[in-house]
Structure 1
Amino acid sequence: MVAVAVTLVLWASAFVAIRHLAHDFSPGALSLGRLLVASLVLALVVAAGGRMPRPTLRQWGSIAAIGVLWFGVYNVALNAGEQRVDAGTAAMLIQVSPVLIALLAATFLSERFTVHLTIGLVLAFSGVAVIGLSSTDAGGTRDLLGVFLCLLSALVYSISLVLQKPLVAKLSALHVTWLACTIGTVVCLPWAGQLASQVRDAPLSSSLWLIYLGVFPTAIAFTTYAYALRHMTASKLGVTTYLVPPLTIVMGLVFLDEVPPGIAYVGGALALVGVAVARRNTARKDVEEPAAAPS
């Protein structure tokens, strides 16, 4: 399906764009710029779609939490992480999100804690450990902080999807995304001064990349993702997100002339096997969401 292909390519490109912009924008300023553009574009899409259902007070609480965690903390942490690790490594680390989602569902949503989930957890985090041991900074020193920041992004993303699940059963996924994205923009407003000064100092190409991040991997990719999810199950769509790390690695090589350390591929493969095992025979397929990171 074209919508799936567009979503995966755009999400993979986001990791490369973030890595490229790390030289010109701080993590907070980059988050604010991207979310500001995305909020405006999503507002136009929502307006074109007609009347939006009004969330209840409890739903507003969940939407606010998603805005703070997914669009606020997630973006800032991932941007900071990609200042320390390459785009391909970041994509592999974020891909452990399905395991975290299954773990959270088993803990807080009364899902069964299955043998597959246990084995998947062990394999996935063994892979993360291998990736962590392979990660180094520009000086060749082992850099675990970048790995930790990417895992923090994966964790808050997973929490957000668990919070989002009951919302999209009653509200449009697109509307929830727009509202949460707008809240995330407000959360990142403390970096407005940095964004203004860094946009002024950055080359025009970097400013265009920032606009690209907001329009394509965020606004457009979320829209195509919502469309794809209406035409196939979340479980089937989730399997396709395994393509995001290899796509990111190829794009990183082409556009940034960088690739993950050799042993990181072993860790990434181990983590993806763990994700695949954890997703088998879950008690409720509907808790599984695609876990690629648009950020």
Structure 2
Amino acid sequence: MNNPPPPPARRAELLAAAAATVTVVLWASAFVSIRSAGEAYSPGALALGRLLAGALTLGVICLLRREGWPPRSAWRGIAISGLLWFGVYMVVLNWGEQQVDAGTAALVVNTGPILIALLGARLLGDPMPPRLLAGMAVSFAGAVTVGLSMSGEGGSSVLGVVLCLLAAVTYAAGVVAQKPALGTASPLQVTTFGCLVGAVVCLPFAGQLVQEAAKAPASATLNMVYLGVFPTALAFTTWAYALSRTTASRMGATTYAAPALVVLMSWLFLGEVPGLLTLVGGALCLAGVAVSRSRSRPAARAGDPGAVAEPRPERAADSAR
């Protein structure tokens, strides 16, 4: 006997959870590709090449789907998120992670979801239930543990710390700016035109990109194209889809699953066998995400205007990046 189809609300919830899962898996996979492409491309050139590949892919999809231009009301959010998240964030993150060890990068960059929660509560009116705050605290501890356990002897610099902090701030501001735009424009429109804005911001690095592409090995260039097509074009679109169906705070917390996935992918593709401390950190990341995505058992009482039920948990590991 066939099971009845899920109700529309439940189906939408499952689709949003699936979209969040795709996003985090692809953002985690970017770690491996950046390691390879970053050996041949400078931070600005890598960001521009990635954004150009992403914009081209998204542009073709938009033409095939006849998406058209976003409404005027969405352009403010698209422009801000394109400038800060697609543009500045990608350059300073690539640059910052060359200046600091993994532990420092994990500590600084992973403040991004915390900043999203604070900005979301202040600017968007996002709720901050205790479970969300507790889950984010656990995941942040796990992300720092993973970073410290995978640190080498590279050391850190003041410049690197500042760049990583700037990356966290621009990531958080970009996400919060993107949320209102999704109220009037489709996730594909918001992602496509945000990516185009980011590519324009990175055009000063065009000369470097041309020079470095002429000398780079094919594997590095292919990794740069992969970053544009999958962790950028596809993952940012699925992110926007999921973000349009939940709060910025909850989506930010979901990205804490990425460090655990990075550990797994580094093991599978780079042969970096994780130690016990790394595994503990990854487990903390996933546990924190589970807590932050859950809701308290007592349901809101029907007819009580002051009671607000939290969303159902999205059973998925959720960026970067």
Q: How high is the TM-score relative to the length of structure 2?
A: 0.71
- In the TM superposition, what is the alpha-carbon distance from 1:293 to its structure 2 partner? 2.5
Match of 2:85 among 60, 70, 73: 70
Map Cα deviations across residues 31-68 of structure 1 (whole Å, 9 max, x no partner).
00000111111111111121425432x64232221111
Map Cα deviations across residues 85-137 of structure 1 (whole Å, 9 max, x no partner).
78899689766544322211223334455555655565555556656655644
* 8 Å Cα contact 2:144/2:281 also seen in 1: yes
- In the TM superposition, what is the alpha-carbon distance from 1:236 to its structure 2 partner? 8.7
- Which has the greater radius of gyration? 2
Partner residue of 2:194? 180
* 8 Å Cα contact 1:133/1:142 also seen in 2: no
Match of 2:25 among 9, 24, 27: 9
Partner residue of 1:293? 319
Distance 1:135 1:121 in 2: 21
* 8 Å Cα contact 2:21/2:317 also seen in 1: no
Runs of 4+ in 1 over 6 A off after TM superposition: 85-93, 234-240, 282-286, 288-291
* 8 Å Cα contact 2:57/2:233 also seen in 1: yes
The structure that is helix-richer by fraction is 1
Structure 1, unmatched stretches of 5+, are: none
Partner residue of 1:105? 120
* 8 Å Cα contact 1:3/1:224 also seen in 2: yes
Change beyond 3 A, Cα 1:213–1:84: same
Structure 2, unmatched stretches of 5+, are: 1-14, 297-307
* 8 Å Cα contact 1:74/1:156 also seen in 2: yes
Partner residue of 2:156? 143
Change beyond 3 A, Cα 1:144–1:275: farther
Change beyond 3 A, Cα 1:272–1:255: closer
What amino acid does structure 2 have at the position aligned with 1:293? S
SS at match of 1:23: coil
Partner residue of 2:212? 198
Partner residue of 1:244? 258
Q: CA RMSD in A?
A: 4.1
Distance 2:155 2:286 in 1: 23
* 8 Å Cα contact 1:29/1:195 also seen in 2: yes
* 8 Å Cα contact 1:85/1:135 also seen in 2: no
Partner residue of 2:167? 153
Within-5 A mapping of 1:204-283 = 204-225=218-239, 241=255, 243-258=257-272, 263=277, 265-267=279-281, 269-270=283-284
Q: How high is the TM-score relative to the length of structure 1?
A: 0.76
Distance 2:125 2:252 in 1: 21
What amino acid does structure 1 have at the position aligned with 2:319? A
Distance 1:116 1:200 in 2: 51
- In the TM superposition, what is the alpha-carbon distance from 1:74 to its structure 2 partner? 1.4
Distance 1:9 1:31 in 2: 20
What amino acid does structure 2 have at the position aligned with 1:26? S
SS at match of 2:235: helix
Say which structure, 1 or 2, has more relative contact order (CA 8 Å, 6+ apart).
1
Verify: 1:44 aligned to 2:60, yes or no.
yes
Give aligned pairs, total.
Answer: 290
Partner residue of 1:20? 36
Partner residue of 2:303? none
Distance 1:242 1:279 in 2: 11
Distance 1:240 1:129 in 2: 16
SS at match of 2:32: helix
Distance 2:255 2:62 in 1: 25
